[in-house]
Amino acid sequence: MNRVFPLLLLLVQHGDTQEPQIYDLLLKNGQVIDPANKRNGRFDVAVVGNKIARVGQNLPAAHARVVVNAEQYYVTPGLIDIHTHFDWQGADLNLQPDHNSLTNGVTTAVDAGSSGWKNFEAFKTRVIDSSKTRLLAFLNIVGAGMYGGNVEDDVNEMDAEAAAKMVLKYPRILVGIKTAHFQPPTWDAVDRAVKAAELSKSVAMVDFHPKPGRDYPELILKHMRAGDIHTHVFGRLIPQLDSDKKVQPYMFEARKRGVLFDVGHGSGSFWFRIAVPAIRQGFLPDTISTDIHKNSIMLPRANMITTMSKFLNIGMTLNQVIERSTVNPAKAIRRPDLGTLSEGVIADIAVLELRKGEFGFLDSGHGKLVGDKKLNCVLTVRDGQVVWDTEGLTATDWTRAGPYSNFK
């Protein structure tokens, strides 16, 4: 009897009070913008291990190993950049993913067709498998990808079955099919890319140069399917606007059909003289992305956080910008587990600061827009781990860190 009694008491106590959960990281009181969950307000976000454990109010700081006061900041899902070029070991213009993504709050980057079915596995081994950034990919419809000379114009290189087979082999990495840079005035590249996407039940991302006999309205009204993505929507070669700078009716019609329009800023595809009137007329991009590579990272500064700032200063709201950098790209690549702060998902989080002041932003032609807002990523959590922390929000002041030395 004497032995049973305390045990019963213990059981009763356990039933009465919920066992407190210990958080590994608690982001306190930030302005959470999580469009996937229609959240835009002050919340605490708690991480346990590599997962989002709780999103709520008044989560106890005493239960957390590391507490970040996020009062001055916006807390968003880790950003998703669906148009990148990160095969840095394979292609000359490609950049390294981690320091170009995680520093911008981007936790998921999608390589847009640098590799094709013939060389994707090499790309996976040499880059994807060892990146901290979640690196996904569109597979180029060209078997050899973007690596070699005139191969991108060679229709014989575009094997829809082989491409689809590769996508189906790596469904957690390959999100769709890319077609790009195709110069002959035929529909072969687009049609084969769409065919491969159809066969693999994935998405086609299209980079398109209109030619006589191959015009843009026909692309977005006939050849692309609902859910397919036209990238470089504010590029110079695309007739989005009429001569009075009015958005063409077929743009809205295609959108109604479900075709998605992506930014893909890059070194040639983002012009204020197109984007500003289009956005003022209510034609916003569905997804914001960078087309980041060696020639776009420097002068137009086409990284994610700067690109988002450009849209903010054109007049989009912060909520619209975050939506188009998180939940929208997640939906576009059919990964509802990404771009959200839902409880239970992998903890990919960005903490952003909205600076006020006077800032200049360049487009692909180096025309400048002067704005009064600029987003800055101050902290990034990837897979539960703090990987970027410019304000030292998780760092101890050195005078309170005790004696430390490389000898210990």
* Contact residues for another protein, defined by CB under 8 A: 88-89, 92, 95-96, 98-100, 102-103, 271-273, 276, 294, 297-299, 301, 359-370, 386-398, 401, 403-407
Shortest spacing between CB 23 and another protein, in angstroms = 19
* C-alpha–C-alpha distance, residues 359 and 357, integer Å: 6
Question: Which one, 191 or 353, has the nearer CB to another protein?
Answer: 353
Q: Per-residue DSSP letters for 173-237?
A: TEEEEEE----SSSSHHHHHHHHHHHHTT-EEEE----BTTB-HHHIIIIISPTT-EE--TT-TT
Shortest spacing between CB 241 and another protein, in angstroms = 13
Question: Which one, 291 or 323, has the nearer CB to another protein?
Answer: 291
Question: Which one, 109 or 166, has the nearer CB to another protein?
Answer: 109
Q: Identify the three-state secondary structure at position 370.
A: strand
Question: Which one, 18 or 396, has the nearer CB to another protein?
Answer: 396
Angle at 375 between CA 231 and CA 325, to 5 degrees: 35
What single letter denotes the amino acid at residue 355?
Answer: R
Q: Is the backbone of residue 307 left (phi > 0), alpha (psi -120 to 50) or beta?
A: alpha
Nearest to 288 by CA among 269, 299, 297: 269
Q: Identify the three-state secondary structure at position 72.
A: coil
Question: Which one, 144 or 369, has the nearer CB to another protein?
Answer: 369
Shortest spacing between CB 340 and another protein, in angstroms = 25
Write out the two tokens for 136.
Answer: 């996904």
* C-alpha–C-alpha distance, residues 337 and 19, integer Å: 28
Shortest spacing between CB 52 and another protein, in angstroms = 22
Question: Which one, 226 or 237, has the nearer CB to another protein?
Answer: 237
Shortest spacing between CB 84 and another protein, in angstroms = 13
* C-alpha–C-alpha distance, residues 142 and 144, integer Å: 5
Shortest spacing between CB 240 and another protein, in angstroms = 15
Question: Which one, 141 or 292, has the nearer CB to another protein?
Answer: 292
Torsion of Cα atoms, 208 then 210 then 216 then 218, to 10°:
-100
Shortest spacing between CB 398 and another protein, in angstroms = 4
Shortest spacing between CB 72 and another protein, in angstroms = 11
> Which residue bears the tokens 């060892």?
130
Terminal-to-terminal C-alpha distance of the chain: 52
Shortest spacing between CB 215 and another protein, in angstroms = 22
Question: Which one, 60 or 365, has the nearer CB to another protein?
Answer: 365
* C-alpha–C-alpha distance, residues 209 and 201, integer Å: 25
Question: Which one, 111 or 157, has the nearer CB to another protein?
Answer: 111
Question: Which one, 3 or 400, has the nearer CB to another protein?
Answer: 400
Contacts of 229 (CB under 8 A, 6+ apart): 82, 176, 203, 204, 205, 206, 259, 260, 261, 262, 286, 287, 332
Q: How many CB atoms lie within 10 A of CB 140?
A: 34
* C-alpha–C-alpha distance, residues 181 and 115, integer Å: 14
Q: Is the backbone of residue 145 left (phi > 0), alpha (psi -120 to 50) or beta?
A: left
Shortest spacing between CB 296 and another protein, in angstroms = 10
